[in-house]
Amino acid sequence: MVERVFVTGIGVVSAFGVGQETFWDHLARGESASRLIDSFDASQMPTRFWANALASEDELTDLLPNKRTGKLLTRANKMAMIAAEEAMGQSGIDPTTLEGSRFGISVGASGVGLVDQGMSPLDYQSSLLLATDQKRPQSEGQFWKLLLDQMHPLNPIRSIPNAISAHLAIQYQALGSCLTYTTACTSSAQAIGEAMLMLRKGRQDVMIAGGADSGTNPSNLLSFSLLGALSTNNEQFQAASRPFDRDRDGFMLGEGAAFLVLETGSHCRKRNARPLAELIGYGSASDAFRVTDEPEDARGAIRAMAMALDDARLAPGQVDHINAHGTSTRMNDPIESFAIHSVFGPAADRIPVTSTKSMIGHLVAGAGAIELVASVLAIKHKLIPPTINIEHLDPACKLDVVRGGSRAMPIQTILSNSFGFGGQNACLIIRAANEVFNHEDE
């Protein structure tokens, strides 16, 4: 028997704040979380804004389910633990009642930057002195010794990419599969999709799946600036993230975390759970093109969407809404539009499309998860949040982009797209659980 997979809990930390209610309230109102950078001197940077979470390190630590782990966690990991705790709370699952080997973790995590490696203000000051030749060490060996003396002793275990998965497993005593995916902007979408496959096969009963990233630090700002991927519209920073707009010039860095509790249908029935949605489709494909560019034929994106539809046993006309990858870069938006038309044909003109990145920025490893959580909430509230900041829809993006305010409509089925650096593509499909949960598994 192939198990069906249900979402029974969701949790979010975003640039709007902590919790799904805060997240949804701001999304539904079409508000921008863009802020000028004030945590360091960015006056000489080409991009001087981002969508950061306002909570400080101490405030995040106070919200952790186990405050003693705070010193072991990076900022992204703290947000992950907080979001997962909200998701577990909503699910109503008492982890002590679960068979540990049937309870797993699947996380999308980012590459490790200088901040995650424990770089302190003192380290930055040392680097500045070295760069300006004011305190140049006498030898390479002295340089490395200087850094060794200043690095945090917990750096090695703070910076490993699978730290989130490990801490979640320890927190909830999940003894099953403990997985980490680091596939750039597709990481958390793949983590959720692969968790779904494990649940379908009956290898696990429950999985916590999602992702987190904290790109709002000097290291990431430098990296993405070098790639030319960020908007430099500093004068209109709150309107800078404008997916599908003719005058878009790049994306906005964001940070946050989003997690979902996924369960098999049989486990839901056993405990009489009330699912929020059903996860019914997953597709994953590679462009096999260039690491930073998408092919004009959109082959990977097309295959991933087609695979997700096939997996969900849906015809193109049965999708009610698409939560687009929608990065606001010159390259992504028209190629994604082309891919949608290629897969959905005439139905593409009638399917409402939105990009939540216009409001919360790009969470990179956490993007797929937070956009799927937004999709779950869209089904719950029967409301599609808008893509904000569109003044002139790009003629190359001929889609029904929701703009000028949220759109109320009954939504049963949503496709969520994630396309990442490296040519990674992952698509997820969810549907409302209210009419299907009581049906017998096929």
Annotated catalytic, 26? no
Rounded to an integer, what distance in angstroms lies between the CA atom of residue 277 and that of residue 224? 35
Rounded to an integer, what distance in angstroms lies between the CA atom of residue 17 and that of residue 120? 25
Three-class secondary structure of residue 295 per DSSP? coil
Dihedral (CA of 369, 372, 377, 383) sign: positive
Please check whether residue 308 is in contact with residue 282, taking contact to mean a CB–CB distance below 8 angstroms. Answer: yes
Rounded to an integer, what distance in angstroms lies between the CA atom of residue 6 and that of residue 21? 21
Rounded to an integer, what distance in angstroms lies between the CA atom of residue 211 and that of residue 255? 11
Report the helix count and the strand count for the chain, using DSSP H and E. 14, 16
Closest CA to 384 of 397, 365, 400, 398: 400
User: Residue 419 forms beta bridges with which residues?
Assistant: 425
Active-site position among 26, 167, 267, 325: 325
Please check whether residue 108 is in contact with residue 191, taking contact to mean a CB–CB distance below 8 angstroms. Answer: yes
DSSP letters for 58-106: HHHHHHSSSGGGGGG--HHHHHHHHHHHHHHHHHT--GGGS-GGGEEEE
Annotated catalytic, 325? yes
DSSP letters for 113-148: -TTTTT--HHHHHHHHHHHTTSS--SSHHHHHHHHH
Pull the structure tokens for residue 292: 């930073």
User: Residue 284 forms beta bridges with which residues?
Assistant: 426
Annotated catalytic, 185? yes
Active-site position among 185, 268, 397, 427: 185
Active-site position among 167, 267, 321, 362: 362
> What separation, in Å, do the N-terminal and C-terminal C-alpha atoms of the chain show?
7
Please check whether residue 2 is in contact with residue 359, taking contact to mean a CB–CB distance below 8 angstroms. Answer: no
Phi, psi of 365 (to 5 degrees): -60, -25
Active site residues: 185, 325, 362
